[in-house]
Every structure is written in C-alpha cells, then in structure tokens.
Structure 1
Amino acid sequence: MTEQKNVYETRIRFKFCKKDEFKYLSHLDISRIMSRALRRAELEIKYSQGYNPKPKIGFSPPTPLGVESMAEYADVLLDGDIDASELKKKLNLELKPQMLISETKTITEKTENLMNATAIVQYGFELYMYSSGNKDMFKKFYAGLKEDLITNSDFSRSIFDLKITPLKGTLDIILLKLLGYAKIFKEENNEIFKFNSFQEFFENWLNQYCLNIKDVKKEEIFIMSGGVLKTPMEII
C-alpha cells in the first residue's frame, strides 16, 4: 500500500515594505531573501517540477532601484493548512525591520497573479521649494503641472492621475501623488509609465519653479476592477 501524500496547500498574498538601505536591493535579491526567510520560519514552500525547481512565489512588478516602497506584494504557495496571520507572525521574526510584512490574506488558485494584474502604480513625491513661501511660484507650478505634464509632455499618456497639496502649515513643502500606468489598456490609448525617465525629466523641469525632489516613495499599487481601482488586498 502506497503512502498517501498531503495534497492540501495554501496560497497567501502578503504586503511588505522595502525601506532605508533595502531600497537598493534588486528584484532578485528580494526574491532570495524571502525564500530564505520562509525556510528559516519552517514554512514549507512548494517548488516547481523539473530539473531546476524554483520556489512558487510570485511578486508584484519591481520597484525602481533607490526608491523606497511601502507597497511590495507577493503570492506564495505553501504545503499544508497555514493561516495567513501565522505566516505574517513567523516570517516577520526572520525579516529585517526594513522589510517587514504589514498585511496578509489567503487567496485561491483563481486569483490573478500580481505581475499581470497590476494596472496602476502610485508614487509619492515630497517637493521642497527653496524660494521660501512664494505663493506666486506655487500657482505657476500648479498651472505648469497641468499644462506641461498632464497635457503636453512625453509622459502625458503614461500618467493616470496627478494630485498635489501643500504640506499643512507651510508652502515650502509640496506633496505630489502620481499614478502611472503599469499596463496597456487599448481603450485608453495609454503608455507604460517609466519612472526613471520621468524622474530625470521632472528634476530638471522643477528647477524653473525653485523646487527640488526631497523624497520619493512607492506608496501603493492598484488593480482595475470594473472600472474601479482596488489594492491587491481589496480585490480578494
């Protein structure tokens, strides 16, 4: 009589950060760190078949090197019945503070993979105005943002939305949220947002308004569901 194998498996989606010096880690580095952490946590990750088996863990689209991220996602396939909250607890014990898991949810085999599903990426820019308290310059910047970036720039078809607000209590710091396309929608006639090219252009463009980029973070990614933007956790 042959021994019956445990056929139960669990799929879990988790969200984690990539902060401080970890922002310089590549997509491959992140994959290796997570795979090792899973093994140290004694979570039995499943592997592909064949001559070169690989761990069954899939990530959201990579974040540009040098950019901090508060919205990294991964889907992992594990042997056995594992609770999502237990994965978070065990895995965080094996990870550095710069790369902790903030949220987990159990998913199904039918859940679309993160790489294909991601439609929009949101970046947060913190801009510093070195011509302190210049209200007229802020107005010119706002007008130029709409005219030059949203309408007439090489990036206009790759930007889904732009939102700006002065930091409360000061005109010297401006917070800009940029939502860029991560996939092509035929009905939108859009282009993929290329962060590195945009940042180089944006830094030069900001000089005319006495602005510098003080900080930038990847804040969230979104999936388009019925014309509505939802996070990878909200879609489940």
Structure 2
Amino acid sequence: MSHNFDPFPKYLQIRDIITRELRGLDVGTRLPTEAQLAERFAVSRETIRQAIATLEADGIITRRPRAGTVLARAVRPATDARLTGPVEDFAMVGVVTTTRPVGERRAAADPELAARLDLPPGGKVLELRRLRLRDGVPLNLLEAFVPASVAAFLERRDLRETLLIPVLRARLDPDIAEEYQEIEAITASGLMARLLEVPEGAPVLSVRRRFLDSSRTPVAYFKVHYRADRYFYTIKLPQNRRGPARRPPARPRSPA
C-alpha cells in the first residue's frame, strides 16, 4: 500500500540529481551502472532505467556498446535551483536538509481545524512547528496538528523526530495514509515571514495535508509553507492511452 501521494516520481528526482552531478564533466565521461545507481538510491533497476531513459531522450547521455552509458554533451548550469517533490523523499534522493523546532503547545482547535480533524469544537490538539532548512537557509515551515488522543501515544523523544508520520505509523497504525493535499498561494507575514527569512508579502506556497488511519479517522493535519524561491510543485499526470475523447456523432435535426 502506498502511504504518500507522490506528485513528483522518484525517477524524475533521480534524473535531476544525476543531471546536477554531470555539470562540469567532460563529454564521454562514463556513468555508473544501473545496478550501482539502484543501490545508491535504494530503488529498483526499473526506476533507474526510467531516469536514464529521460536523460537519453534529452540527448544528455548515450549508450555505447562495451562502453556503457556516457555523457553525450556538456550540461549547462541550471538556472533554477529550487527543490520539488515530497519532503519525505528528499533524503532518499540525496537532498540533505535539517530541521529546527520552533514551537510546541497544546491548545483548543479552532472551528476550521476541528473540522479537519473531525473533532468537536474546542477539541484538544498538540501543535508542533518546525523549520526545515537546506544549506542553512529556510526551505519551509511546518505546522503539524495532532489530536490529543493520538498525541498520548507519543513520547518526548518522538517529538524530536524530523518526520512525524513514520513515528505515528510505528506507534499507532502502520497503515496511516495521506488522504489529500490542498495547494494555495499565500503571502508571508508576521512570524512566518521572520522564520522563513523573507520580506512581508513575499510569495509562499502553502500545502495542506490530512492523514487518516486504517479506520479512516484523522490522525494528523499539516500546513507546510514553502518559500517560493526555494521550492516548486510538480504533479505527474497519468497518461490517457486511449487517446483523446471523441465527440459523439451529431444527431440529425428533426424537420421543423
């Protein structure tokens, strides 16, 4: 069972990492084998083949008999250094980030939050705030809300973990899954602007995520606020293999 909606498949993330690493190398440089790449990224060889195929289609690499896969043309420096994809996958594909706790409290849920967590008005929640950084620069601000009944299963050391959902799966239910994501463009202000180190009014990509256990009960609700200059959102849409829908033939009009 897949626990996370993955808007940016791993093979595309791996492709981007390989592309960055090819910058500055000489044409003809040999790439690692599929087996070596699969072991490095902890994915199947089929995933690596997909990543390699996109690089080959772009003319960046070529496959030569007995020489393996080699760099076919020089890779120019990227003009966009922003990240994309789920935070949960950053470490898996070689992106190093750190987190800094910036707040923790137990509070009564406002009406909007109570509705998100299926709680009665004023229901008790644990609120955690964490700042995620890359290279020492803020990437996103996480506001995580957990019902008090769920927080009771957590220990103090659990609250120091960088990813909360794996902890909840280990402590509560291994089948906790993400139900939806909502994406909204907002502007930074007040504490958010100060923590993200952006000016008041700077654009922010806000992603709201709700997680359910195997009985379809909400166990966590996240608001993740990304700096727009450090992150963008990509969605991989399924391909319609049947081709575009055709209009039904027009019916002849009845004589007047």
Q: Same fold (TM over 0.5)?
A: no
Q: Which has the higher contact order (CA 8 A, sep 6+)?
A: 1
Query: Whose radius of gyration is greater, 1 or 2?
Result: 2
Task: Give the TM-score normalised by structure 1.
Answer: 0.28
Task: Give the TM-score normalised by structure 2.
Answer: 0.26
Q: Which has the higher strand share?
A: 1
